[in-house]
Chain A
């Protein structure tokens, strides 16, 4: 197995902005990202959904680029752009022909320096976000399942347990003053990383970063937040109505080991053995063999992310869509039997070897692509950003696999025994109100 040797150079500007460049001059295409170390975990209490609403506001205009200018300038340069909000980061990214690199940096710097939005922008985007929630959650079979259903049951700290998309009353209560305060607090260069990938030389990238971002003032008093979860002592369960779908669904979440520990490496291999596609034990047993379920999925940080891109308490999730002729308890019992087998018998050396090959292969694909092939190196950008913000070490991209490749079958069995226990889990049953075809 050859080691990864992705070229990565990084620096920190005097205002605290970290800058990472990963050059590959083969195609005249550049990917740019700005990641802020603020996600929905850290949004203000009483303002559920605010981090995401705020992400929308970042497209509504900045000092020198009014409403629609960000979108117009990127699209008309032949590029695409988007943003997203996750537990611990909010990101903004563009893929463009590389002759538009400087223009994109100008845009990102302009909105990091001075957001310029008004009440009308806020009203407009509040309406847009509500339709986003309706189309993805309320008007969609299994909408929001389980990423919105499970955290409130599994967690006790409000940071981890509230409605991340936002209660409509909270969205309505958000004011322009909230927007400005949030911007001032979190959207500072010393709370961010700028990434440039593809057709850009490191020295050129660093010079452009200094030129456009160098004079943006840092926030000398970045808040620190407590996202820790108190220890769980007994299983937690909840029941949710499924208004559109016709099959019963289950989600089971276990608190996963802390990131960058030996248990974390082993838990990732256990996760891959359980949830790795059709060869994974959960799908194989419940869908293919016992035919209790119609579909299963899961993973650490499922379905919003993976084992690398979070920074705090996280769940290992299993999602099961099962046949109505089986009860939730029968389905859970079948799932428990799968876990018990790993806990009692461990995992065969050749199964673990296969899991590792697939894990490495998936990692490589993620680095190269993402987003349907039209955002080159999206995954590399994403990991570089997370390893910079959470671990202060972008070079981890080249070495992080090593710890997973060293995991032994005994370690997999041990984490299964330690973490996959009922007092460490939450279960959400989502049962349909209508049966069969309407």
Chain B
């Protein structure tokens, strides 16, 4: 039926239709005899598959040997095995319509491949070859070292990187999560033997999680995986104990001086919790209302009302052993103090007053709806599975997430904000031109000024 112009012109938004159930696809979860954990999901949306092999050791585990060692190890892993040269690996990938990425975060290292499902067996074999037989060719190591050097130089010219680096250093102190990237000197000091040793000790089946999502039959895929990976055995790495991060007392301001910058990166943060913590969903919901969505208080305030910034956001960051909460905005130089005022106003409002009206249900719908969008692609599914299993979350995490979010109350949000939006002890990082923004920043706490290498000025 076609509505007439006049009634449409005074129309209200249609109500939501009844919801269709969100059904997560069945998973096949196995632990092989060599302790390799395998998680598989069939997804026939496209004739491709994604295979992600994670090792639960990242840059934190390698910090005492060399900062960033896990990352450079992952970079060199793809450049040669006992039987394949770098060229051969790249040609093999192209022939199978595949993309490979290797990398490392604070907590894990990964070998991830996505390619045409007609090549699933040789793709699995390539993943296994890199995991077991990486040969670390000396010339490839030296090339990657030089690339890494240039990369860390460019990082030091990137405001968002510098803000993130400084915040992690301040929040984590002597805990290895304090370091997100090596210095030039540390890159110069890398030795090939350190990479070989990190790979030998940490790229082992008992330390690994294999996720496969794609256009395959799970039974056949499991048989292939057992066939290819079961002969792989190695002892588990020892788990280092990490020192406690410091307890922040009072707001402090940390300015990274970049002369002449035409914009200032503002970051405010404090320690919080991991994804496995019972308060994680409460914090997620509080974050969505505060600044984690487009439709959030922070974005409405400093973007849509005041025009200080393009993409302000807050986020709860979960690392395996610790977490932190942060708020970020890149703002024009003359509104640094105004931005910090508004950020603390919004943080304090979340701590002081219960959310009212639509805000609570809007945010609950947002989180539960967006969560299910990940269902519809192989990539999205693989990501959800990685989060679930790498974080050690309950088996029913995906299936129960939406109901748990929808059960949260205004009291839950208030309690989470009071615990994890630590306004009084927030650490403030400002990356910009000291002469233009230093006085504004100093209004919010004792000011410490460093250069882009972290040296006091």
Which A residues have a C-beta under 8 Å from some C-beta of B? 2, 24, 26-29, 63-65, 67-69, 71-81, 95-103, 106-107, 109-110, 113-114, 123-132, 134-135, 138-141, 198-199, 210-212, 214-215, 243-247, 276-279, 284, 287-288, 291, 294-295, 321, 323, 354-355, 357-358, 360-362, 364-365, 367-369, 372-377, 436-438
Contact = CB atoms under 8 A, between A and B. Distances in A.
B181 interface: no
A27 B376 contact: yes
Contact of A357 (B96, B260, B306, B377): B96
A427 B153 CA distance: 25
A76 B370 CA distance: 10
B13 A354 contact: no
A106 B147 CA distance: 51
The 7 closest A-B pairs by CB, nearest first: A78-B369, A361-B97, A127-B307, A373-B380, A376-B376, A76-B362, A28-B20
Given A28-B22, A139-B261, A375-B373, A76 B310 contact: no
Contact of B150 (A65, A69, A212, A247): A247
B90 A284 contact: yes
A331 B423 CA distance: 52
Interface in B1-60: 1-5, 8-22, 45-48
Given A80-B373, A102-B17, A131-B330, A291 B146 contact: yes
A279 to B, nearest CB: 4
A132 B381 CA distance: 31
B97 A100 contact: no
B304 interface: yes
B67 interface: no
A364 B214 CA distance: 13
A437 B310 contact: no
B2 A211 contact: yes
Contacts of A291: 143, 146
Nearest to B299: A71
A140 B305 CA distance: 25
Nearest to A356: B97
Interface stretch (B154-162, B392-400, B440-448): B154-162
Contact of B2 (A65, A80, A140, A214): A214
A96 B86 CA distance: 42
A100 B370 contact: no
Contacts of B2: 210-211, 214-215
B365 to A, nearest CB: 5
A323 B150 contact: yes
A355 B91 CA distance: 10
11 contacts: A69-B13, A76-B295, A76-B362, A78-B369, A79-B369, A103-B14, A131-B332, A357-B94, A361-B48, A365-B48, A367-B46
B390 interface: no
A244 B157 contact: yes
Nearest to B15: A103
A75 B293 contact: yes
- The B contact surface, by secondary structure, is mixed
Interface in B54-99: 86-87, 90-91, 93-99
Interface in B92-131: 93-99, 114-116
Contact of B90 (A77, A81, A279, A323): A279
Nearest to A78: B369
Contacts of B260: 243
A215 B45 contact: no
B452 interface: yes
A374 B97 contact: no
B372 interface: yes
A73 B307 CA distance: 22
Nearest to A123: B307
Contact of A128 (B5, B143, B262, B309): B309
A76 B332 contact: no
A14 B208 CA distance: 59
A106 B423 CA distance: 40
B346 interface: no
B232 interface: no
Contacts of B304: 67-68, 124
B302 to A, nearest CB: 10
A438 B259 CA distance: 11
Nearest to B161: A141
B143 to A, nearest CB: 6
B224 interface: no
Given A63-B9, A77-B16, A247-B150, A279 B373 contact: no
Given A102-B14, A127-B308, A373 B377 contact: yes
B373 A376 contact: yes
Contact of B361 (A76, A79, A214, A375): A76
Most buried by B among A77, A97, A199: A97
B294 interface: yes
Interface string B315-341: 000000000000000111000000000
Contacts of B358: 76
B16 A99 contact: yes
A64 B362 CA distance: 19
B217 interface: no
A438 B372 contact: no
A365 B2 CA distance: 38
B425 to A, nearest CB: 28
A77 B365 contact: yes
A367 to B, nearest CB: 7
Contacts of A29: 372-373, 375-376
A102 B18 CA distance: 12
Nearest to B11: A64
A71 B295 contact: yes
A64 B303 contact: no
Contact of B372 (A97, A135, A214, A215): A97
A322 to B, nearest CB: 10
A274 B151 CA distance: 23
A128 B310 contact: yes
A22 to B, nearest CB: 13
Given A81-B294, A127-B308, A134-B330, 14 more contacts: A71-B294, A75-B294, A75-B366, A77-B16, A78-B368, A97-B369, A131-B310, A134-B262, A210-B2, A244-B158, A323-B150, A374-B380, A437-B156, A438-B452
A376 to B, nearest CB: 4
